[in-house]
Copies of this chain bind each other. A is one copy, B any other.
């Protein structure tokens, strides 16, 4: 429920937490690293990291790759992730929805979810424009920086939102401070309207459209987004939103469902 980890300083960390901290760090870096580098960059004791890395290696959770004793995420994680994907079988419908969006709008279409208390792009279909707009799949981005973020936390109470999002994430990439109350007001607006659009605050040339993909309980488990050049986005606003809503409706008809093994 909550995302505590380094509650207080000076305490011993639990092996499990450290282990997943290492895995998350490698995912974020997206490259193989030496145990030493990992220890230094996540601020963990070297001896602990060496011990954990060796444990994870022997379990297939990590693998040697890139030489020089560097390690990266291992095959076992792929298998576990595939099992998740197979259970909550959103992949097929998701690709179809992105395909449809790309066809209809020629813009970059994304399927986004929360990863813990961050936002992340799970799948993407690049647009057909000469200058394509794209982002990195799987990178963790502060929730307040994104249009989708407004929708993905809309099921929480105001207080829960503030508890959920790390305070420093309200500091925007340009350095400006986004007042949490302003953000919450936008969340409530997005909730009422069932959509959120704005000129991206991560860059200066894109406009973002986001609509929720709702599950039975009614909250947004994911979002479908379009990322467009500002002028195109504003010119085609109505049509793009219609496309998004249609695609999202298609996804909701075939919601994440268990599948026989």
A239 at the interface (CB under 8 A from B): no
Please give me the residue from chain B that is nearest to A221 by CB atom. Answer: B75
Stretch of A14-22, A39-47, A182-190 lying at the B interface? A14-22
Contact in complex: A261, B30 (CB < 8 Å): yes
Query: CB-CB < 8 A to A3: which residues of B?
Result: 58
In the complex, what distance in Å separates the CA atom of A258 from the CA atom of B72?
A: 11
Contact with B along A113-139 (1 / 0, CB 8 A): 101100010100000000000001111
Query: CB-CB < 8 A to A77: which residues of B?
Result: 77, 80-81, 83-84
A61 at the interface (CB under 8 A from B): yes
Contact in complex: A79, B17 (CB < 8 Å): no
Contact in complex: B78, A85 (CB < 8 Å): yes
Query: CB-CB < 8 A to A60: which residues of B?
Result: 115-116
Q: A16-B55, A55-B14 are in contact. Are A31 and B261 (CB under 8 A)?
A: yes
In the complex, what distance in Å separates the CA atom of A87 from the CA atom of B71?
A: 12
In this complex, how many residues of chain A approach chain B with their Cβ under 8 Å: the count is 54
Please give me the residue from chain B that is nearest to A4 by CB atom. Answer: B58
Q: A138-B86, A261-B136 are in contact. Are A76 and B16 (CB under 8 A)?
A: no
A27 at the interface (CB under 8 A from B): yes
Query: CB-CB < 8 A to A139: which residues of B?
Result: 261
Instruction: Please list the 10 inter-chain residue pairs (A to B) with the smallest Cβ-Cβ separation, ordered nearest first.
Output: A81-B81, A30-B261, A27-B83, A78-B84, A73-B84, A77-B80, A78-B81, A77-B81, A77-B84, A15-B16
Contact in complex: B79, A73 (CB < 8 Å): no
Query: CB-CB < 8 A to A31: which residues of B?
Result: 87, 258, 261
Find residues 218-261 in chain A having any chain B CB closer than 8 Å to their own CB: 258, 261
CB distance from A122 to the nearest CB of B (A): 8
In the complex, what distance in Å separates the CA atom of A136 from the CA atom of B27?
A: 28
In the complex, what distance in Å separates the CA atom of A139 from the CA atom of B60?
A: 16
Contact in complex: A83, B30 (CB < 8 Å): yes
Please give me the residue from chain B that is nearest to A90 by CB atom. Answer: B78
Contact in complex: A138, B55 (CB < 8 Å): no
Contact with B along A81-122 (1 / 0, CB 8 A): 111111110000000000000000000000001011000101
